[in-house]
Amino acid sequence: MRAEIDKRAMAALSAGHLATDFAGGTLPALLPFLVDKFSLSYTLAAVLILASALSGSIIQPLFGLWSDRRGALWLLPSGVAVAGARMAIAAASPKYWIVVLFIVLSGLGTAAYHPEGSKFAAYASGRRRASGMSLFSVGGNIGYGLGAVVTTPLVLWLGLKGGLFIALPCLVVAAGLLVLRPYLGAFAPEQRSTGGEGGRDRPGAMALLLGVVAFRSLAWFGLITFVPLWEVSLGHSKAHGNHLLSLMLLAGGVGTLLAGAAADRFGRRLVLFASCAVVAPLILVFILVGGVAGAFALAGVGAAIVGTFGVTMVMSQEYLPGQIGLASGLSIGFSIGLGGIAAVALGAVADSIDLRTALYVCAAAPVIAVALCALLPPSRERRQLTPEIVIP
């Protein structure tokens, strides 16, 4: 096992993650413009988030199983290309149902990339698994944030047809991953023994972790769906709402790097527990205080929630060491899928009661995640990835 992270491999995998999530990150920024174009209710706006979330999550564990059993490096370039190209077409589509269709197709690209990408990120991380996975995750965090940053001025300048340019960075990165396939393939273990990647699978612990992920995702997807719309309801511009969204997303990138290093040093559970504990108070500051304090609070939410995506991915791989592709697919896909469903439910709350109440629900969800964190057993922090080395 490598002692250090392979920088070239991690840069390529993180760039692929950036490009894939760049495509997904354009959707929340597109929502205010799509709401105006098609006169959408909050519920129908949230359906677009659901379409992306479900298509990016339902089959993700299946891609993970395929990856564990047969290997599927071709999913890396193809996943990035599909995610970007289909989201670009969705932005410029003339009918609401066509927008939904191409958002679903874009989500399939996301589902294809993540399990294979996170598995090879684990291989390339060596013994610094949490730090390496944070570097992989921060690519996605930055990409999601850049999606919001780039989309708003692009659409203000060229209209929704300007969204076709979303595909360009994704296609460039996909071409680079295609060239680097042989180099990345060298990190796969030479043997695929029945003993797995080292150690005993613990499905009960994995179920608890997925509970934490689910309630964390309810808060997160509620915020990325409704922060821009909340700001518009307060009389601010669409650009102002998307700037706050971008701040939250980009702060998540900083949080990811800090959380990964802290998890390697102090332990996964402690970092996850602490991050979940601060989210509810910060969301309440955003709702009740607003202004500059609310913006800083929103940045803190991004750092706390997004910062632990990589940590929970590592924990899932350590709870299921024999099936790390499946573990990655469950960890990422489960969070995306439930988050999307929660966004639609919160949209219904916003329509039937008001948007403020929906945001209060977002603040309540992390409290349950904290309780579940307290029940998590230790993960295998020093578990080897290669099948030749097994720690009893």
Which tens digit of pLDDT belongs to each residue from 350-388? Answer: 888 888 999 999 999 999 999 999 999 886 544 444 433
DSSP 275-318: HHHHHHHHHHHHHHT-HHHHHHHHHHHHHHHHTTHHHHHHHHHH
The candidate with the shortest Cα–Cα distance to 197, out of 75, 77, 328, 79, is: 328
pLDDT over 80 at 244, yes or no = yes
Q: Which residue has the higher pLDDT, 234 or 65?
A: 234
- Using 50, 70 and 90 to split pLDDT, how confident is the model at 198? low
Predicted TM-score (pTM) of this structure: 0.69
Q: How high is the mean pLDDT of the chain?
A: 83
pLDDT of res. 218? 87
pLDDT over 50 at 194, yes or no = no
pLDDT over 80 at 69, yes or no = no
- Using 50, 70 and 90 to split pLDDT, how confident is the model at 392? very low
> 23 to each of 219, 320, 342, how far by Cα in Å?
21, 29, 21
pLDDT of res. 79? 92
Q: Are 160 and 92 in contact (CB under 8 A)?
A: yes
Angstrom distance (rounded) from CA 144 to CA 146: 6
pLDDT over 80 at 193, yes or no = no
Domains of the chain: 7-373 (1.20.1250.20)
pLDDT of res. 190? 62
pLDDT of res. 386? 42
Tell me the mean pLDDT in the region 245-250.
Answer: 81
- Using 50, 70 and 90 to split pLDDT, how confident is the model at 336? low
Helices (H), 163-308: 167-179, 181-185, 203-233, 238-266, 268-288, 291-306
Tell me the mean pLDDT in the region 197-203.
Answer: 72
pLDDT of res. 253? 76
Any idea which of 42-46, 273-277, 369-373 has the lowest mean pLDDT?
A: 42-46
Q: Which residue has the higher pLDDT, 238 or 83?
A: 83
> 172 to each of 12, 76, 287, how far by Cα in Å?
12, 13, 40
Q: Which long-range contacts (CB under 8 A, 24 or more apart) does 358-362 make?
A: 358/42, 358/222, 358/226, 359/222, 359/223, 359/226, 359/230, 359/283, 359/286, 359/287, 360/287, 361/218, 361/222, 362/218, 362/219, 362/222, 362/223, 362/226, 362/283
Q: Which residue has the higher pLDDT, 58 or 375?
A: 375
Tell me the mean pLDDT in the region 20-26.
Answer: 89
Angstrom distance (rounded) from CA 95 to CA 30: 14
Q: Length of the chain, please?
A: 392
pLDDT over 80 at 301, yes or no = yes
| 31 burial type by CB count under 10 A (0-12 exposed, 13-18 middle, 19+ buried) | buried
**Most confident by average pLDDT, 73-87, 197-211, 303-317:** 73-87
Token readout for 249 is: 């997303």
Helix, strand, coil fractions of the chain, as percent rounded to 5:
80, 0, 20
Task: Give one word for 291, left, alpha or beta, with left for phi > 0 and alpha for psi -120 to 50.
Answer: left
Token readout for 48 is: 């677009």
The candidate with the shortest Cα–Cα distance to 35, out of 165, 155, 167, 158, is: 155
pLDDT of res. 329? 75
